[in-house]
């Protein structure tokens, strides 16, 4: 039988303690984990306690943690990212030249870079979820909200 449950947390960063076949086993272990002196200290300092959850809940929380809003970057940052490692999905779509880093942050989450109308952008995306990829419409909305670039 495959493990369907995990004991995990998202703050300060996503992390899994262990995998479990039943929620009951995960609940028992979560209590013991959170009682450990090092973990108790981390919780006192603001870390989230470990808690039982399904694997799907963990993946959704992990994705929410790492995906970030679009931000404008310098042309030099775009060029560096393009040349530091081989790019993945380097393509031009609807006026956007974009690529993803071949190095992952975790699982299928990686940094993505885009060039649109002479401006450069970056944000983390899920390579397996096209709805998270940088689009021309997203770049247009960013430009409309933030106006002309400085300089």
Taking only the tens place, the pLDDT of each residue in 71-100 is 999 999 999 999 999 999 999 999 999 999
Confidence at residue 149, expressed as pLDDT on a 0 to 100 scale: 66
Confidence at residue 148, expressed as pLDDT on a 0 to 100 scale: 72
Contacts of 125-132 with CB under 8 Å at 24 or more apart are 125/67, 125/100, 126/63, 126/67, 127/88, 127/89, 127/100, 129/63, 132/67
DSSP state of 69: -
Confidence at residue 151, expressed as pLDDT on a 0 to 100 scale: 45
Confidence at residue 112, expressed as pLDDT on a 0 to 100 scale: 98
Confidence at residue 3, expressed as pLDDT on a 0 to 100 scale: 73
Confidence at residue 150, expressed as pLDDT on a 0 to 100 scale: 53
Confidence at residue 147, expressed as pLDDT on a 0 to 100 scale: 82
CA distances from 33 to 1, 13, 46, 82, 143 (A): 24, 17, 16, 42, 47
**Residues of the chain falling short of pLDDT 50:** 1, 151
């Amino acid at each position: 039988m495959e493990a369907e449950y995990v004991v995990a947390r998202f703050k300060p960063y996503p992390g899994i303690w262990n995998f479990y076949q039943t929620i009951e086993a995960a609940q028992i272990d979560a209590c013991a984990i959170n009682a450990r002196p090092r973990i108790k200290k981390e919780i006192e300092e603001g870390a989230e306690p470990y808690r039982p959850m399904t694997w799907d809940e963990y993946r959704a929380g992990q994705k929410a943690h790492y995906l970030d809003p679009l931000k404008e970057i310098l042309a030099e940052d775009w060029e560096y990212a393009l040349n530091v490692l081989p790019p993945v999905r380097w393509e031009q779509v609807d006026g956007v030249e974009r690529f993803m880093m071949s190095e992952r942050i975790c699982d299928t989450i990686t940094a993505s870079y885009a060039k649109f109308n002479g401006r450069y952008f970056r944000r983390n995306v899920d390579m397996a979820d096209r709805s998270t990829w940088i689009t021309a419409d997203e770049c247009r909305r960013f430009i409309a909200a933030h106006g002309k670039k400085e300089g």
